[in-house]
Structures are given as C-alpha cells and as structure tokens.
A and B are shown apart, each in its own frame.
Chain A
Amino acid sequence: MAERIYVFKRFERFWHWSQAGLIMFLMLTAFDIHGTYTIFGFEKAVAYHTTAAWTLIGLWVFAIFWHFTTGEWKQYIPTTEKVVAMMKYYLVGIFKNAPHPFRLTTLRKHNPLQRLAYLAILVCVGPLIWVTGVLYLFYDQWAAWGLGSLSLEWVANGHIAGAFMMLAFLIAHVYLTTAGHTPLAHIKAMITGWEEVD
C-alpha cells in the first residue's frame, strides 16, 4: 500500500492553478499581439494582456510573501545531488520501468531537475519577461527613469524571447506531469494536495 503525503498546501495549489491559467491566457494574447493569429485583435489583446499581467504580478506578491513566511522558498535551492541520476532516469530508466531515483518528501517535493528548471524559470525567464514587460508598459518614462538610451527593439525582442522560452517550458512541464507513477498522479496531487509515494 502506497503511502500518501500532503505535499501541496491550499494556497500553493490556488497559486499554481491561477498562475497556470493566467500564463496560458497571457500566451494566448501574446501571440495575438505578435500577429501570429487573430483572436481578439491587437487592441483588445494588448488590453487583456496588460490586465492579466498586472493580475499575475499581484498573485506573485502574495506567493513571494507565502514562500518566505512558510520557508517553502527552500524548495527551490538547487542541488547537484542525483541530477545525473534523474537525467538517466528520463533518458533510459523511464522506458525500462526502472524505479524513480527520487523520493518525494514534504521537505523535498521537487526532484533535482525540477528544482533546476523552476529556478531557471524563476531567476532567468521570469525576470526577463517581467522586466521587459514593465519597461514596455512604461516606455514613455524611460527618460525620466534615466534609461533614455535603452532600445525599445531590444526590450521587445527580450520579451518575445522570454515568451518563446516560457512556451517551451510550458510544453515540457505539462508533459512531465504525466511522468509520475501513473500518468495523472502528479496532476491529481496538484489538485488535491496529496501525492502517493511508493
């Protein structure tokens, strides 16, 4: 009988899913603005994109507060331990039904690869998108902020590059949710908070 542990607390689950929804909506409007397709049209898409972005920033304020007050931020400290084992597992072991090299606990709910990936998103892709996004919004303030020499083209391209990376991450992330001991195990855990551990 598998043991069940409570890994994702209520706020964390709320945060995850609202963030997921917002990011997907941001993606949808982003590529509308970008001219890839037309759903809302440029004008509305920009308005929705901006509103969704501010909402997500608001959500992040709460999330950051939560992470620091609960100490959950430690979950994102990177480790080299078992990284190679994890990679081997995804490249080989998973096809041979080999045992998962990482054992989940409430204090270590992310496997080493997850830690690295999420950290990369948190410290690279996220800030890239947020910094360029905010700059984009306050384009006319640059001179007042002492950023007059900044190039809108670079800011825009940075934002677009960030969007592509986020989209790639989203695809990989969604796929890897199926890599639990059953395809829907991870998703179930993110909904209920409880994960089954062997």
Chain B
Amino acid sequence: MGHLFNRAALALCCAGWLVATGPVLAEEAKPEPKPLKLTTTADHAKFKELQKTFNSGPEVTKACLACHTEAAGQIHRTKHWKWEYLNPDTKQTLGKKTVVNNFCISVASNEAACNSCHIGYGWKDASFDFKSEENVDCLACHDTTGNYKKPSGLAGNVVTKDMEFPPGSGKILKAIDLSKIAQKVGKSSRDTCGACHFFGGGGDGVKHGDLDSSMSAPEKELDVHMDATGLDFTCGTCHKTSSHDVAGSRYSPTAKDSKGAHLRGKTDNGNPATCVACHNNAPHKSVARLNQHAGKIACQTCHIPSFARGGIPTKMTWDWSTAGQLDAAGKQITKKDAKGRIIYESRKGDFTLGENVKPEYVWFNGNVTYTLITDKIEKSDQRVPINKIGGSPSDGKSMIWPMKVFRGSQPYDPVNKTLVTPHTAGNDDTGYWKNLNWDKAIAVGMNTSGHPFSGKIDFIKTEMSWPINHMVAPKEKALGCAECHSKDSRLAGIQGVYIPVRDNNKLLDTIGWAVVFLTLLGVIGHGAMRIVTARRH
C-alpha cells in the first residue's frame, strides 16, 4: 500500500516534471508568448457589459457607471464638467462657460461647436442638465485607441452611424466603433488630454503655443519630461489627479511655489503640477548661482527658451475687424502664406502665426483678473487686457514668467462699453461664420448670454497672456546667461531688478573710461617728454 502510494507519487512527480518542462520546450519553439497585461488589473475587453453595440455616448457611460458608481459624481464637481470656476482671490466667476477671449471669443450661443470639447454629451444650450450622470463622457479622457472623436457641431455627441454634416454639405462624418473603444479604456494620456488641449482656439497649436500635437509623442528636444523614448511623462504625471479633479489651473496659477518638493506621507495641499513639486527649490546641483536666480525667476523662464518648437505654428495675432471680405463672386475667401498656412479667412479675419517664438516676460504673482462681459472697457491706445496678469518686483510673491501674449482686435459695444459674445458657429441665418453679418451675430449672441447690447458695433484691441509651462527643453538647451545679461536682454521690459550688463550705468562707464584714458594719456605724455628730454641731455 505504502509502496503503491510512493510509486503513484513518483509518477505524479514525473508527470509534473513533464508538465512543467513541456511549456518550456514549447516556448523554445514559439519564443514569444502572449504577455500578461501588467498595466492594469482589469481587461475591459473581457467585461460582458462592454461586449455589445453602443448607439450613443451615454449608453457607454451607463455601462461604465454600473461598476464605477462614484465616477460621474466626482466629475460633476470639476471645472472640466462645469466649465465654471470661482477664483477664490478675485471672487470672479470664470470658466469656459463665462469668460470672453480674443480667439473665437465665447461659448454662449456656440455650444454645439465649442462643446465638442466638453467632457459630456449634449450640451447644446443653457438647458443642459449638469446633474445628469449618463451625460458624463468617460471616453474623452479614457480612450486608448486614439479613434474616439467628438466632431464640432454635435454638442459633444459622437457619431455611431455615418452621417452627412452639416446637412446638405456632402461632407460625411464617419462612425466610430464605441464598443471597441469602450473595451480598450485605460488611463488618460497625452493623446486624450491633447484631443482638446492641443487644439484649443480652433486648430492645432492655435491657442497655447506650448501645447500642440507635436507633444503627443515628443522627442527629448521638445519636452524633456514627455520624451516618448525617455521619461515619457503623460499630462497626468504632473497634473496629478485625484477624484477626477485635475490639478493645475490657468485661472489661478501657482506663480511661486515656496512649499518645496512633495513627499509621500506629507500632508500637502499645494499644486502638484509645479516644477518645484518635484525638483524642490534649489535644483541646480553644481552652480549655486542658478539657485539664487530661482528666487526671482520662474523655472520656465530659462528652461523653455521658446514655444511652438515642434514644427506646428501657434497663432500670435487675430484681427477680427478685417473679417467679412468676399471675392468677386461673392464667395468667402482664404489667404495662405508662403508655407501654405492660412493667414486670412473671410469668417475670421487676419492672423499671424509664429514658430519658435521667444516668450515675453513679466512679473507674475499668480493673480489673474479677467475682463468679463460685465466689465466696462474704454477704447484707447492701450490694449484691453482679456486677463490682467498681477505682479510686481516688490510684492515678494512675484516671479519673472514667460508668457505668450496673444494680441487681437475683436468686436465690442461702444455704447455700453463692454466686450460682446457673438454667435459665430452654427448652420443658421445668424451665425457669423456662415452669413458674415455682425449685427445679427452679436444681437443673437448677446441675447443668449443674457447681456445688454446697444446695437452699435466697433472693434477694440485686446491682449491675452498665456503663461508658458510646457515644452521644457533639455538642460543643455536652457537659456544661457547672455540671453538676459546683455544689452539686448530678453528681460529688457522687466522693471525693478538690477540685471548686470543690461543695467550697466552709463555715467559710471563714461567716468570710468575717462579716468582710465586720462591716466593712459598722462603716462604716454610723461613718457614722451622723458624720451624727448633725455635726447636733449
């Protein structure tokens, strides 16, 4: 009995050995086995709930919420959902829903177009239900296929059957396969964030200057952190998100982070997206002098030598006042520059574009005050700031920051003295882009946004500042000293700080050289006389 048992055990062991070695042998024949997914604990393709045809975005969301029960509620609390933000310092109510800019100007009355970048489905006008859970768009941020698209004009909805849009245009919007996309959901990526943030202002790289599609898989030269073959940061690596609320805000930026590097276990309510949040306040190891500079100069100033470096131009100016020109046949026209880039459109006016643009530099303390539609503005030689950048050399909170300053001319109401919110996009009789009629477009737009309009229209010069944060160059490409310490300093406009060389005292130089030359003249004269008198003797 005992023997039998032993034998059986031996046989089992042998079988076990065979079984164990079997796959090894098989592996040698077939060397590359199907790998285990290590980046996630849940392969969404295996979920029954997602193995079906989805006919709309909200159907997918319902499936998501079946497991991720709290997700929509978390989203509801965020700027990305509300497009509304109360600035705690200025008490201004901001957010995309409210602010007016000098690109496409404003969202109100243009929701169907603009809100293709809203993380929801169906925001076509003020009636949108912000409490709806199924209207939250999970896929906008969690798609990994790169195929998820929300075409402009559909109020953030997706296309699940090929359709002609705008109706009668002959242009076909292709359907996307929501089932495949839903089964492949994953973490947000440069591509998902970029789907909106790279294309802000109506096209690739138009708005920010430091964000465009070249950042989806950048080389080290373009962004040392996002380098696709190197550190490969996603946006979320710095914009560390918790409860679906993405950190790092342009409405109330952290201009000076004196809190130092964030540590695990340390209670830290600071902004995790600052340079300091990882690099601390004295990051230069070998040259202490550079750490001294970091007391007054934002890291970005030296480490982002120029923006729009990825081969995609950014818009630098936009003159709406020249919009509306037609060709002889009465058709809208488009003008292009030598490189084939659009610099004039009848529906938008004149643009200028820039690549490898040197930023402008200002003192910035993180306070940004917007000129809202309710604020009075005066036409003058000074441009009206869309967002006034707070800061001074002496407030102890300001640093020297790089900015993209976007200048434009846009319609305003000269009687009520306010900016206006024109109805631009839309396949209707009042949309400016279709009919080129400011009177109708502004009347409808102002009615929608609920602000008084006198009926009079003029154009006013405005400027908007965009702090530059991305496209951080490798350290070898950071600004050299002489970029600022020279007579044609990059910081020529920065007041209130003494910058050696830039601020050489002319009088002192004149006196100094005069003393030196007089001394030289004196000794030459003295020497000459000695030579002459020596000969005479």
The reply to whether B534 and A43 form a contact with Cβ atoms under 8 Å apart is no
A156 on the interface (CB 8 Å rule)? yes
B480 CB, nearest partner CB in chain A, Å: 6
CB 8 Å contact bits of A83-121 with B (1 = contact, 0 = none):
000000010001111000000000000000000000000
Determine which of B508, B533, B537 lies in contact with A161 in the assembled complex, contact meaning CB atoms within 8 Å.
Answer: B508
B394 CB, nearest partner CB in chain A, Å: 13
B230 on the interface (CB 8 Å rule)? no
B527 on the interface (CB 8 Å rule)? yes
Given known pairs A46-B481, A171-B523, the reply for A95 and B529 (CB within 8 Å) is: yes
CB 8 Å contact bits of B481-519 with A (1 = contact, 0 = none):
110011100000000011011011100110111011001
- Chain A residues with Cβ below 8 Å from B537 are 96-97
- Chain B residues with Cβ below 8 Å from A178 are 527
Given known pairs A35-B487, A161-B508, A167-B516, the reply for A42 and B295 (CB within 8 Å) is: no
- Chain A residues with Cβ below 8 Å from B530 are 94-95
The reply to whether B482 and A41 form a contact with Cβ atoms under 8 Å apart is yes
Determine which of B482, B504, B508, B513 lies in contact with A42 in the assembled complex, contact meaning CB atoms within 8 Å.
Answer: B482
- Chain B residues with Cβ below 8 Å from A42 are 480-482, 485-486, 501
CB 8 Å contact bits of A16-42 with B (1 = contact, 0 = none):
000000000000000001110000011
**Complex: A97 Cα to B519 Cα, angstroms:** 23
**Complex: A165 Cα to B512 Cα, angstroms:** 7
B270 CB, nearest partner CB in chain A, Å: 22
A150 CB, nearest partner CB in chain B, Å: 11
- Chain B residues with Cβ below 8 Å from A172 are 519, 522-523
B18 on the interface (CB 8 Å rule)? no
Given known pairs A33-B500, A175-B523, the reply for A165 and B515 (CB within 8 Å) is: yes
CB 8 Å contact bits of A160-190 with B (1 = contact, 0 = none):
1101110110011001101000000000000
The reply to whether B516 and A175 form a contact with Cβ atoms under 8 Å apart is no
The reply to whether B527 and A96 form a contact with Cβ atoms under 8 Å apart is no
- Chain A residues with Cβ below 8 Å from B503 are 153, 156
- Chain A residues with Cβ below 8 Å from B508 are 157, 160-161, 164
The reply to whether B515 and A140 form a contact with Cβ atoms under 8 Å apart is no
Determine which of B497, B501, B526, B529 lies in contact with A34 in the assembled complex, contact meaning CB atoms within 8 Å.
Answer: B501
B520 on the interface (CB 8 Å rule)? yes
Determine which of A94, A95, A140, A163 lies in contact with B291 in the assembled complex, contact meaning CB atoms within 8 Å.
Answer: A140
Given known pairs A168-B515, A168-B516, A171-B516, the reply for A153 and B498 (CB within 8 Å) is: yes
- Chain A residues with Cβ below 8 Å from B516 are 164, 167-168, 171
Could you tell me which residues of chain A, from 50 to 98, have a CB within 8 Å of some CB in chain B?
90, 94-97
- Chain B residues with Cβ below 8 Å from A171 are 516, 519-520, 523
By beta carbon, the residue of chain A nearest B534 is A97
The reply to whether B533 and A96 form a contact with Cβ atoms under 8 Å apart is yes
B292 on the interface (CB 8 Å rule)? yes
Given known pairs A42-B501, A171-B520, the reply for A95 and B512 (CB within 8 Å) is: no
By beta carbon, the residue of chain B nearest A96 is B533
By beta carbon, the residue of chain A nearest B524 is A175
- Chain B residues with Cβ below 8 Å from A160 are 504-505, 508-509, 512
**Complex: A172 Cα to B487 Cα, angstroms:** 31
B483 CB, nearest partner CB in chain A, Å: 9
A192 on the interface (CB 8 Å rule)? no
CB 8 Å contact bits of A132-151 with B (1 = contact, 0 = none):
00000001100000000001
Determine which of B295, B482, B509 lies in contact with A140 in the assembled complex, contact meaning CB atoms within 8 Å.
Answer: B295
A152 on the interface (CB 8 Å rule)? yes
Q: Which of B500, B503, B515, B523 has the most CB of A within 10 A?
A: B500
- Chain A residues with Cβ below 8 Å from B526 are 90, 175
- Chain B residues with Cβ below 8 Å from A96 are 533, 537
B500 CB, nearest partner CB in chain A, Å: 6
**Complex: A70 Cα to B455 Cα, angstroms:** 94
CB 8 Å contact bits of B255-293 with A (1 = contact, 0 = none):
000000000000000000000000000000000010110
**Complex: A192 Cα to B529 Cα, angstroms:** 29
A153 CB, nearest partner CB in chain B, Å: 4
The reply to whether A43 and B515 form a contact with Cβ atoms under 8 Å apart is no
**Complex: A35 Cα to B501 Cα, angstroms:** 6
A52 CB, nearest partner CB in chain B, Å: 16
**Complex: A176 Cα to B527 Cα, angstroms:** 9
**Complex: A95 Cα to B537 Cα, angstroms:** 9
By beta carbon, the residue of chain B nearest A41 is B482
Given A41-B482, A152-B498, A160-B508, output 4 extra A-B contacts at Cβ < 8 Å: A35-B487, A42-B485, A46-B289, A97-B537
**Interchain residue pairs with CB less than 8 A apart (21):** A33-B500, A34-B501, A35-B486, A35-B501, A42-B480, A43-B482, A46-B289, A46-B481, A90-B526, A95-B529, A97-B537, A140-B291, A140-B295, A157-B505, A160-B505, A160-B512, A163-B512, A168-B515, A171-B520, A175-B526, A176-B523
Which 10 residue pairs are nearest across A and B when measured between Cβ atoms? A164-B512, A175-B523, A140-B292, A95-B533, A153-B498, A168-B519, A43-B481, A42-B482, A152-B498, A42-B481
